[in-house]
Amino acid sequence: MQRFLLKGGKVLGATSSDLLISNGRIEAISKSISDETATVIDLKGSVVLPGLVDLHTHLREPGREDSETVASASRAGAKGGFTALSAMANTSPVADTAGVVEQVYRLGQEAGLVDVFPIGAVTQGLKGEQLSEIGAMADSVARVRVFSDDGNCVFDPLVMRRALEYIKKFDGVIAQHAQEPRLTVGSQMNEGIISSKLGLKGWPAIAEEAIIARDVLLADHVQSRLHICHVTTAGGVEIIRWAKARGIQVTAEVTPHHLLLTDDLASSYDPIFKVNPPLRTEHDVMALREALADGTIDIVATDHAPHTSETKDCEWAEASFGMIGLETALSIVTKTMVESGLLDWAGVAQRMSIAPAAIGRYSNHGQELVVGSSAHITVINPTKSWVVDRDLVLSKSRNTPYHGYELPGLVTHTFFGGRATMIDSKVIDKVVQ
| pLDDT tier, 268 (very low <50, low <70, confident <90, very high otherwise) | very high
Do 4-47+373-427 and 50-360 fold alike per CATH?
no
The CA-atom distances, in angstroms, between 332 and each of 85, 228, 263, 317, 339 are 18, 21, 17, 27, 10
Q: Is the pLDDT of residue 65 over 50?
A: yes
The pLDDT of residue 430: 64
According to DSSP, the residues that pair with 176 across neighbouring strands are 228
- Is the link from the previous residue into 277 a cis peptide, with omega within 30 of 0? yes
| Residue pair 51/416 in contact by the 8 Å Cβ criterion | yes
| Residue pair 125/102 in contact by the 8 Å Cβ criterion | no
Residue 296, burial from CB neighbour count under 10 angstroms (0-12, 13-18, 19+): buried
Q: How far from each other are the two terminal CA atoms of the chain, in whole angstroms?
A: 7
By annotation, the residues acting in catalysis are: 303
Q: What mean pLDDT is reported for the chain?
A: 97
Residues within the annotated binding site for substrate? 58-60, 90, 276, 307, 321-322
Residue 74: which of 431, 322, 421 has the closest Cα?
421
Q: Is the pLDDT of residue 199 over 60?
A: yes
Q: What's the rounded Cα separation, in Å, for the pair 142 and 138? A: 7
Q: What is the CA radius of gyration of the chain?
A: 21
Percent of the chain with pLDDT over 70: 99
Q: Read off the pLDDT of residues 380-405 as tens digits, 9 standing for 90 and up.
A: 999 999 999 999 999 999 999 999 99
The pLDDT of residue 253: 98
The pLDDT of residue 432: 36
| Residue pair 176/211 in contact by the 8 Å Cβ criterion | yes
| pLDDT tier, 425 (very low <50, low <70, confident <90, very high otherwise) | very high
Q: Read off the pLDDT of residues 115-133 as tens digits, 9 standing for 90 and up.
A: 999 999 999 999 999 999 9
Mean pLDDT across the stretch 73-91?
A: 98
Q: Read off the pLDDT of residues 306-348 as tens digits, 9 standing for 90 and up.
A: 999 999 999 999 999 999 999 999 999 999 999 999 999 999 9
Mean pLDDT across the stretch 24-46?
A: 95
Q: Read off the pLDDT of residues 207-241 as tens digits, 9 standing for 90 and up.
A: 999 999 999 999 999 999 999 999 999 999 999 99
| H-run or E-run covering 83 | strand 82-87
Q: Which residues of 209-240 are buried (b: 16+ CB within 10 A; e: fewer)?
A: bbbbbbbbebbbebebbbbbbbbbbbbbbebb
Q: Read off the pLDDT of residues 280-290 as tens digits, 9 standing for 90 and up.
A: 999 999 999 99
- Higher-pLDDT residue of 340 and 15 is 340
| Residue pair 114/421 in contact by the 8 Å Cβ criterion | yes
Q: Is the pLDDT of residue 263 over 50?
A: yes
Q: What's the rounded Cα separation, in Å, for the pair 7 and 41? A: 6
**What single-letter DSSP state applies at residue 296?**
S
Q: What angle do CA 206, 200, 280 make, to 5 degrees?
A: 45
- Class at the top of the CATH hierarchy for domain 4-47+373-427: mainly beta
Going from N- to C-terminal start, the domains of the chain cover: 4-47+373-427, 50-360
| pLDDT tier, 429 (very low <50, low <70, confident <90, very high otherwise) | confident
Residue 326: partners with Cβ closer than 8 Å, 6 or more residues away: 54, 57, 73, 76, 77, 79, 80, 82, 85, 302, 304, 395
The pLDDT of residue 183: 98
The pLDDT of residue 433: 32
| Domain 50-360, CATH | 3.20.20.140
Percent of the chain with pLDDT over 90: 97
Q: How many CB atoms lie under 10 A from the CB of residue 430?
A: 16
According to DSSP, the residues that pair with 120 across neighbouring strands are 147
The pLDDT of residue 209: 98
Mean pLDDT across the stretch 98-112?
A: 98
Q: How many CB atoms lie under 10 A from the CB of residue 310?
A: 10
The pLDDT of residue 1: 79
| pLDDT tier, 14 (very low <50, low <70, confident <90, very high otherwise) | confident
Residue 160: which of 140, 143, 180, 188 has the closest Cα?
180
